[in-house]
Amino acid sequence: MIKRSELDGAVGKGILTAGQADALSVFLNAPSPGQPQMHDPEEVRFSRGFHDVFITIGIVCLFAGMVYGLHHVLSETLIARGLVYGLCCLVIWLLAEWFSKRQRLALPSIVLSLLFFLSAGELGFQLFETLRPDGGFHGSFVRGMILGVSGSSHGYFAGIVSATLAIAVFYLRFRVPIAVAGIAGGIVLGFMLLLEGVIPRSVSANPELFFLISGLVCFASAMSFDARDTRRETNNSDKAFWLHLLAAPLIVHSVLNTFIDGSGSAGSAAIVIGLVALLGFVALIVDRRALLVSGLGYFGYAVVSLLQRAEIDTSGSIAASLFILGLFVLMLGSGWNGARSLVLSPLANTPLTKFVPPVRK
């Protein structure tokens, strides 16, 4: 049986196109009538071996050395910072031409996509700040987005627009699946900043509603890719995986944060556990564990709250909650296919089954 990595290698050498490789993979992996599906339907191509890891280490070291070296050589002006990240974008693009377009290496392509998104964001941020009449805000796009926006929100908006447009062009050229999630994430952040700028406090006054709507849109986008490849044998499955990974924390945080009052009450904990169970039900239907993983932190919080209400000391509550959490994950993971079969049985012969993977035997 031809492996997917071998097909990717053929694409890298120009023997097959990416579309032909996907079609051939579907044909070769299609089960015969009555034959059960054997591969993991949630398999995602991260690496073909340690060669990918080795190349990725080199890319990260090269990028870190380049940024640090250019910052050290060039003066600490905004236009110099823009030049640094402009050169970074150019070097990343050239590396992607070889490792992503020609060799089709999965892990290096993922890292190059992330670095290109962040570098393009810094480039847009620094160039915008350079044009400000007051001399600009000496900050960092990446640091500001991680630690919270400070300084010019217009600069961060310029950075987000720059990063989103750049990763869209990057995707059109290299077709790296994670870039689809980068585009979606950029749109969410850009729309949030735009909405907050046009209508002050429209997002900050009720962030849960904004992130819930954004998460549901990302989830719907992920399901659109999943529906095109219910056997998860093409890059559509990988695109859906990254979108689910983006959608899950947005949905989980916005919904469950609404029901956590900070008091650790038994009622609040019970509601959280019930919502996590509902989330698990949805995860089983669509066969995506990412949805459930995002809720495990809240599940652990709820268990700790209930144990503390039972007058168990804090260290004992944490230990017990970790044990229960681990047991829950192991039991559900081991019986995933059986649980899916049980959940999907009442839904057999309904239109829903056309959009989700079949149950593995």
Q: Which of 88-92, 170-174, 285-289, 308-312 has the lowest mean pLDDT?
A: 308-312
What 2-6 contacts at long range (C-beta under 8 Å, 24+ apart), as own/partner pairs, is 2/28, 4/45, 5/48
* pLDDT for res 2: 66
Separation in Å, CA 164 to CA 141, 181, 246, 353? 13, 10, 15, 34
Tens-digit pLDDT profile for residues 138-165: 667 777 766 665 555 788 888 999 999 9
When the pLDDT of each residue in the chain is averaged and rounded to a whole number, the result is 82
pLDDT band at 83 (very low <50, low <70, confident <90, very high): confident
Whose tokens are 């010019």? That residue is: 152
Q: What is the pLDDT of residues 102-117, one digit of tens each?
A: 888 999 999 999 999 9
Q: What is the pLDDT of residue 36?
A: 41
Given this model, what pLDDT does residue 324 score? 82
Mean pLDDT over residues 23-44, rounded?
55
Biggest alpha carbon–alpha carbon distance for the chain? 71
Q: Rounded CA gap, 115 and 122, in Å?
A: 11
Residue type for 290, please?
A
pLDDT of residue 26: 59
- Which range has the worst mean pLDDT, 16-20, 249-253, 270-274, 354-358? 16-20
Mean pLDDT of the region 208-217: 93
| pLDDT value at residue 355 | 86
- Global pTM reads 0.81
CA 141 distance to own-chain centroid: 19
> How confident is the model at residue 179, as a pLDDT?
96
More confident call, 5 vs 99: 99
State percent of the chain over pLDDT 90: 29
Residue of 273, 329, 240, 291 lying closest to 44 (CA atoms): 240
Question: What gap in Å lies between CA 336 and CA 342, rounded to an integer?
Answer: 10
The pLDDT of residue 35 is: 44
- What pLDDT does 34 receive? 43
pLDDT recorded at residue 99: 94
Rounded CA-CA distance 199/226 in Å is 35
E strands along the chain, which residues? none
Exposure string over 231-246, b if 16+ CB within 10 A, otherwise e: bbbbbbbbbbbbbbbb
Tokens representing 315 are 């260290």
pLDDT at 41: 58
